Structure 1
Amino acid sequence: MKLKRKLVAKPWGQTVLPDIFGGSSKKKIGEVWFEAPEGITPQLMTKYLFTSEKMSIQVHPNDRQARRVGFPHGKDECWFVLDAKPDAVLGLGLTKTVSPTKLKTAAILGEIEQLVDWKPVKKGDFFYVPAGTIHVIGADISLIEIQRNVDVTYRIYDYGRPRELHLDESLEVATLAPYDMKHCRDIPADQSASITDSTPFGLFQVIGDDSEILSNTISKEWQIIPLEGSVTVRGKLIKAGECGICPRLSDIDLSKNKKALVACTMT
């Protein structure tokens, strides 16, 4: 099945997108979503993100915390960087462990950026973002985000934009410590790779028709995001800038693939 593409305007988005998304836009497009037909709820959600400004500083709850307030599960996500200007940065975790009071005070005073650990970023970088990680995507970055499909985001700080903040909720779920660098990787552009390790979902980079790298994984949901070339999913052609979904690995034909990301549930 081919998922339906939806362009979403954001205050931090871009007015010039890659040609596969239509090029120039009158609106600032920040996200490209892929949505299933009514009645079907995928366990994962794939997005393209394009930034011209910093996004909000935010955090997501884990399973226990999310269920306590009525959500089915928490939200882990990951980022695969497609492009970034030389001075682009991501914020992941804090520079040091701090108390809830210190973080709250810094957020209220507009000084929280000094606590965030800003990391340089380049094309090919991968970051897994566990639930509880304080994070922010900086300006001038294009990336693919794979996340568990649940709408629960707590904003800590939003650079003066007129959107709701969730400071108290954030303090209840945030890990007030540095990011564990074991969750980031530099992915070689020309090699198939199993990118994630011991996470709620799997992510693979597949070069050509190298289906062997996927063969030992058991999953009930596969999402395929071609980066170069095309794939066929249950008879539907999926090209770059599109996303396909299927329940079985045997539904995927990689014979015309050049490079693709393949995500799957692990539970």
Structure 2
Amino acid sequence: MSALLPTRMVSKPWGRTALPVPFSAPDGERIGEIWFEPPPALDTLLVKYIFTSEALSVQVHPSDVQTLTAGLGRQGKEECWLVIAAESGARLGIGFRKPLGAEAMRAAALDGSIEQLMVWHTVAPGDFFYIPAGTVHAIGAGVTLVEVQQNSTITYRLYDYGRPRELHLDAGIAVAVGEPYPAHLYRHVPAEGAARLVEGPHFRLDRLDGAPDAATAARYAGAPLLVIPLGGEAEIGCRSVKGGGCALAENLDAVAFSGHCLIAQPSR
């Protein structure tokens, strides 16, 4: 059941015409995201690389409960980001400096001041953020990151720097949490060593440095998982998976790890 996942390049107005190795953009296209198509065995998870040359919109995603209530099915979206590279001064905007009510948020979205009301984190490689549903957020220019998320495409844009794209103020403000971002959802992952990144209601995520320890192996045992090499590689059966790839493995025992890899799996 192991397999390399097909990739999809997604053009974005804030993307890049030159991508970091091992990726390459088609001539003249601004590629903002590379998606790994979710396999049927793990279709609740989506893994992406994101590359920015300009800031993304200020946006928010709903929860499973909110989408079910709205009749949209189980399409909520919680996500997390691991920064891989960042230009000097690159930032991520997450949450607000102080509590913000719905009408104040609407006014700030309409006049553009919402950007100044958010908290902006200057980032470096290894910075990790978990983004719960309802968190107002924006990825700034000059960032390369890996995103692991619930497999949902529902994004409500609140502000888009004047780009001619649709905004979703009613839907977005209805699900947005007008509060500061909880500090415990951020951490810096050291350059060396393994790290448990997420053990949440929707998925788990770990960064390995070589083979997993016994506790990590027990958490992932007996179920399929996704393998995302970073600075290392993985052998799954007779198949080698290197940086820039993502693969499905039928279980952890089928994988031999070398160097830094992410592993992800839906929560059970």
Please give the range of the TM-score, normalised by the shorter of the 2 chains: over 0.9
CA contact (8 A) 1:218 1:266 kept: no
Aligned residue identity for 2:248? I
Q: Equivalents in 2 of 1:229, 1:86: separation in Å?
A: 25
CA contact (8 A) 1:202 1:266 kept: yes
Does 1:14 find its partner at 2:37? no
**What is the Cα deviation at residue 24 of structure 1?**
7.6
Partner SS for 1:215: helix
Q: Deviations over 1:10-47 (max 9, x none)?
A: 1000111112012784211100111146x666211000
Q: Equivalents in 2 of 1:176, 1:221: separation in Å?
A: 37
Residue 253 of structure 1: aligned partner: 256
> Can you give the 5+ residue segments of structure 1 that lack an aligned partner in the other structure?
none
Q: Equivalents in 1 of 2:38, 2:133: separation in Å?
A: 24
Identity %: 40
Evaluate the alpha carbon distance shift between residue 149 and residue 23 of structure 1 in structure 2; reply closer, same or farther with a 3 A threshold. closer
**What is the Cα deviation at residue 178 of structure 1?**
0.5
Any residues of structure 2 matched to 1:98-177 within 5 Å, and which? Answer: 98-177=100-179
Does 1:181 find its partner at 2:183? yes
Aligned residue identity for 1:63? D
**What is the Cα deviation at residue 242 of structure 1?**
0.4
Any residues of structure 2 matched to 1:20-35 within 5 Å, and which? Answer: 20-22=22-24, 25-35=27-37
Partner SS for 2:170: helix
Residue 63 of structure 1: aligned partner: 64
Residue 192 of structure 1: aligned partner: 194
**What is the Cα deviation at residue 264 of structure 1?**
1.2
Residue 205 of structure 2: aligned partner: 203
CA contact (8 A) 2:41 2:224 kept: no
CA contact (8 A) 1:193 1:213 kept: no
CA contact (8 A) 1:206 1:259 kept: yes
CA contact (8 A) 1:226 1:260 kept: yes
CA contact (8 A) 1:57 1:155 kept: yes
Give the CA RMSD over aligned residues. Answer: 1.8
Q: Deviations over 1:192-238 (max 9, x none)?
A: 11112444211111112235352121463411110123212344321
Aligned residue identity for 1:130? P
Residue 232 of structure 1: aligned partner: 235
Partner SS for 1:20: coil
Per mean C-alpha deviation after superposition, the further-off stretch among 124-133 and 59-68 is 59-68
Residue 264 of structure 1: aligned partner: 265
Q: Equivalents in 2 of 1:165, 1:247: separation in Å?
A: 41
User: How does the TM-score come out when normalised to structure 2?
Assistant: 0.93
Aligned residue identity for 1:120? T
Q: Deviations over 1:81-121 (max 9, x none)?
A: 00111211100001110110000011111221121111111
> Can you give the 5+ residue segments of structure 2 that lack an aligned partner in the other structure?
none
Q: Equivalents in 1 of 2:102, 2:210: separation in Å?
A: 48
Q: Equivalents in 1 of 2:188, 2:118: separation in Å?
A: 22
Partner SS for 2:84: strand
Partner SS for 1:26: coil
CA contact (8 A) 2:92 2:122 kept: yes
CA contact (8 A) 1:71 1:150 kept: no
**What is the Cα deviation at residue 8 of structure 1?**
1.2
